[in-house]
Structure 1
Amino acid sequence: MNAGSKRILVVDDAATVRMYHRQILQQAGFLVDEAVNGIEALEKALNSPYDLYLVDINMPLLNGYEFLVDLRSRDIKQAPAIMISTEAEQHDRARAFESGANFYMLKPIKPADLLKYSSLLLGVGG
């Protein structure tokens, strides 16, 4: 499979972060959608599941942990999730994995790292 057929949802309340991740991923050929919080992300995922989720932790209404727990409890096609945060403590990382994340990255993310781990979890060349 190629990058162009893979759909990624970027979930972050910061517009600049969403734009940064979108630009990197779209330049690599991925189809990218955005959500500003966990509630919007859940609505979009339930409507049409994605191939990968990039999820911030600290967001209003429904945070990244809560979003992943809810998503993982649903009877829909499941996809890998990368938790992306400024939270650097070990308990934050542990909680991310307990919530259903497949990988944990600290902000700011280098474009090459974002592409490398996204491609790896999606099973596409990168």
Structure 2
Amino acid sequence: MKRILIVDDAATVRLYHRAILEAEGYEVDEAINGIEALEKLLSARFDLLLVDVNMPKLDGYSLLREMRANLQIAQAPAIMVSTEAAPQDKAQAFAAGANDYLVKPIRPEQLLAHVRLLLGA
């Protein structure tokens, strides 16, 4: 079973994404900021991350840079999820290490299509 980590400070967003992904049979865990996500990544293996940009303590860009610099956890693909839709926001996400970029709100079928693509399913 594929494991996905949702990193977002908004509980409603985490619950929404969790419901979509669990309905498709994915195992889901959550982190409320980048610091908590790094702790979880160091203690468990995840196949994919959904990462919000704007979070307290450690934002999504910083989380991805930290993750990509750590060989122990660098390999999991990451989808950056944000309300920011400008080209420079996407460019910054890819520069930080994102594999994909989606703008909120995300329709369930859109989220699942991108998740399946990155998981090779």
Q: Which amino acid aligns with 1:27?
A: A
Q: CA deviation at 1:21?
A: 0.1
Which residue, out of 28, 35, 41, partners 2:31? 35
Which TM-score applies when normalising by structure 1?
Answer: 0.93
Cα deviation, 1:18-39, whole Å, max 9, x if unaligned, reads 0000000000000000000000
1:107 counterpart letter in structure 2: K
Q: Does 1:26 align with 2:18?
A: no
Structure 2 residue 116 is the aligned partner of structure 1 residue 119: yes
Alignment partner of 2:61: what SS? helix
Q: Give the % identical residues.
A: 60
Q: Is the 8 A contact 1:56 1:64 kept in 2?
A: yes
Work out the CA distance in 2 between the residues paired with 1:61 and 1:55: 14
Which consecutive residues of structure 2, in runs of 5 or more, have no partner in the other structure?
none
- Aligned positions of 1:1-126 closer than 5 A: 5-77=1-73, 78-124=75-121
Alpha-carbon distance between aligned partners in 1 of 2:59 and 2:33, rounded to the nearest angstrom: 7
Q: Distance in 2 between matches of 1:76 and 1:117?
A: 24
SS of the residue 1:120 aligns to: helix
- Report how far residue 75 of structure 1 moved: 1.5
Shift of 1:49: 2.5
Task: After the TM superposition, list the runs of 4 or more consecutive aligned residues in structure 1 that deviate by more than 4 angstroms.
Answer: none
| Distance (Å, rounded) in 2 between the aligned partners of 1:49 and 1:30 | 14
Q: Is the 1:9–1:54 contact (alpha carbons within 8 Å) kept by the matching residues of 2?
A: yes
Shift of 1:48: 1.2
